[in-house]
Structure 1
Amino acid sequence: MANVRFGIDHPVVTVRDFDRVRGQFKNLGFTPNPVGYHPWGTTLSLLMFRDNFIEIIAVNDPSKFGTNSVNGFCYGRNVGKFTDRVEGLGLVALHSKDARADHAALVESGLQSQGLIDFRRNMTKPDGTPDVAVVSLGLFLNEKQRDVSNFICHQHRPELIWVPAWQDHPNGVVAVTAVTYLAEQPLDLAQRYIAFYGEAHVAQSKDIVEADTGCGLIRILSPRAAAEYYGSIPMPDWKGDTQPHGIGLTVESGTPAVLESLWNSNGVDVLRSARDTWLISPEQCGNVIMEFSA
């Protein structure tokens, strides 16, 4: 599953207690990469796969809010506003190899943008030496349904991110294959993803809207469809907010035979779904339902 233009690059799990949630993902059998820092006051760690990854992020220094602001928007302050309300699946980054051209094309398609951000992030390579990642982001935040928002992400030095040593996880996970949202009216969000992917790549019904990004699915479920899909697993705690929001990530393991033994050893409670996948509740995963498929 090679990543393509606007494929799922990385979902962002946004939390308050960074160390606790990073530890939860270790219990699930992931090997997070070394902790890094954004210039605008957030800290992060990545769960790297061959073509995409999961980012865990939290605020570590709010005094840096305002750094790299564009038109009044500050990424760090946006993270802080999110965690003031809730924790869990916030932004979802989409893959880009040319942020400026892709940004212009999406604006032309009718999507509202908050602008482009270019920044550098200090990081540590597997051998312990320091280096600097160079990144461009194109912001496409959904101002009407704020928790179904995206940005495009262009890594100018991808060799510093897609490091083979960081892609070896005890749970055998090789990819994020789906991001799932909950919405009272999924069809209200269909046009957003048609703007990204074209009508031919967005399946629509009353209860399910599903966009094929070319590197994983973006799935929007009604409450009825979500109850059917996840069964008895509780939904993430969104503090009573009924606006559309992220609820789950699906990942694929190349070594499914090891999963249940690994989780038993680590004290992880797991449920087998009707689709023969494994479901892990949000309280064990940073307020996100994790689904593991073989």
Structure 2
Amino acid sequence: MSASLPPRQARPVDHLVLPAASLDVARGRLHRLGFTVAPTGEHPFGTVNVCAYLADGTFLEALAIGQRETCEQAAITGNVFVARDQAYRFRQGDEGFSALVMGTENAKGDHAAFVEAGVSAGNILDFSRPFVTPDGKHDKAAFRLAFAADLRAPDVFFFTCERVNVPAVDRSALQRHENGALAIRDVILSETNPTDFQYLMQEIVNEREVNAHSFGMDIRAANANIAVLTPAGLEAFLGAKAPPLGERGLRLQGIVFAVRDLAYVERLLSGNGVAFEKRGARIVVQPAAGQGAIFAFEA
């Protein structure tokens, strides 16, 4: 009798990449949505970002082009992160939701696993960048990334992120948000036939258990739910239209945040002039300039 496969340990969601045309616009939009936004970060390969950090260890990364020539050279020399960002912007424009990033303590092992599974998107990327807190303290953050993708889904990519050096700074001020956001509860993708991508999502999350249902499928990461919904499911849960029927492939669509007080979020958004709708126990905000994904809030 052959030995049974060892149990997998699901990876946690680390962060979500939201391409933006302008960091100033993204910063302003996130602020109106009630998020505290960190100072601008600069990557050594030409991209720049602003991030909103949550108390559960996850964060949102609004990503823009800082130095176009540097980005183009990095893509030519094999930087998968920049190349995929450029491909996304070419196909979908400068605003959107391009990457789901999972946490890891072993990016090299993930890369080997992705290669073996046939889902690797290219070489590992090691890099570091300065980190500055709102009160001006400096440190350096270092990362190692392992990439995965599927040629059938050109408008989304995945990577695991190993935090090789975590800045020795107090992030608590950055993790306190006016909207009371505490954690990412769900990451929502869409696809006409979600189970066509079951194998890919199992490899990304490192989880074999899949909950298939009439609206799609769910895979549980260590700290959040990953849902791949049909067009009907996307409309039912978030009031959003999926891409036209003939456009197959995974698309990252929405983020559900856990908040302390839903009534307070409603008052905050109203006061800041942010349009929203109530759908059951959720408040849903459709994408806008500087906000490339659907944002939903629930208590």
Structure 2 residue 273 is the aligned partner of structure 1 residue 267: yes
Aligned residue type for 1:41? G
Structure 1 vs Structure 2: percent identity of aligned residues?
A: 25
| Count of paired positions | 287
Aligned residue type for 1:59? I
Structure 2 residue 234 is the aligned partner of structure 1 residue 226: yes
- Secondary structure of the residue that 2:25 maps to in structure 1? helix
Aligned equivalent of 2:183: 175
Consecutive unaligned residues in structure 2, runs of 5 or more: 1-8
- Aligned partner (choices 34, 38, 42) of residue 37 of structure 1: 42
Decide whether aligned partners of structure 1 residues 67 and 127 sit closer, same or farther in structure 2, where only a CA change above 3 A counts: farther
Aligned equivalent of 2:70: 64
Structure 2 residue 156 is the aligned partner of structure 1 residue 129: no
Aligned equivalent of 1:216: 224
- Secondary structure of the residue that 1:22 maps to in structure 2? helix
Aligned equivalent of 2:257: 251
Provide the C-alpha distance between the structure 2 equivalents of 1:7 and 1:47, rounded to a whole number of angstroms.
17
- Aligned partner (choices 7, 10, 16) of residue 12 of structure 2: 7
Provide the C-alpha distance between the structure 2 equivalents of 1:159 and 1:72, rounded to a whole number of angstroms.
27
Q: 1:101 offset after TM fit, Å? A: 2.5
Question: C-alpha deviations, 1:247-267, integer Å up to 9, x for none?
Answer: 111111123342111111101
Structure 2 residue 109 is the aligned partner of structure 1 residue 94: no
Q: Is the 8 A contact 1:5 1:95 kept in 2?
A: no
- Secondary structure of the residue that 2:173 maps to in structure 1? helix
- Aligned partner (choices 285, 288, 292) of residue 283 of structure 1: 288
Question: C-alpha deviations, 1:202-247, integer Å up to 9, x for none?
Answer: 212464121101111111111111122223xx44889x95532111
Q: Is the 8 A contact 2:276 2:285 kept in 1?
A: yes
What's the TM-score, normalizing by structure 1? 0.88
Q: Is the 8 A contact 1:13 1:57 kept in 2?
A: yes
Q: 1:283 offset after TM fit, Å? A: 2.1
Aligned equivalent of 2:33: 28
Decide whether aligned partners of structure 1 residues 188 and 76 sit closer, same or farther in structure 2, where only a CA change above 3 A counts: same
Q: Is the 8 A contact 1:193 1:202 kept in 2?
A: no
Q: 1:68 offset after TM fit, Å? A: 5.8
Provide the C-alpha distance between the structure 2 equivalents of 1:186 and 1:98, rounded to a whole number of angstroms.
28
Provide the C-alpha distance between the structure 1 equivalents of 2:216 and 2:262, rounded to a whole number of angstroms.
28
- Aligned partner (choices 153, 157, 163) of residue 171 of structure 2: 163
Aligned residue type for 1:101? G
Question: C-alpha deviations, 1:133-170, integer Å up to 9, x for none?
Answer: 11111111222212232100011222458721210100
Decide whether aligned partners of structure 1 residues 127 and 91 sit closer, same or farther in structure 2, where only a CA change above 3 A counts: same
Q: Is the 8 A contact 1:71 1:114 kept in 2?
A: no
